[in-house]
Amino acid sequence: MDWIVRPIRAVIFADEQAFLWIKKKLGLTEYQMAALVWFKGIIIGLLLGWWLF
């Protein structure tokens, strides 16, 4: 069950422990994690923009 909850927490709440868990599980570098955070921000921003307007 942990493999479902942690990624969802990471996407929605930006939990540092969840991001570190994803980084360790996928073997991502710091730059790849930064790209993941940037991409997450773009997607959530677009969804909020579409939903609000």
Cα separation of 13 and 37, whole Å?
A: 12
Q: What tokens appear for 32 in the block?
A: 């790849």
Q: Helix 30-52 to helix 16-26 angle, to the nearest 10 degrees?
A: 120
Q: What is the pTM of this model?
A: 0.59
* CA count, 13 A, side-chain hemisphere, 43: 8
So what's the pLDDT on residue 21? Answer: 82
So what's the pLDDT on residue 31? Answer: 93
So what's the pLDDT on residue 20? Answer: 82
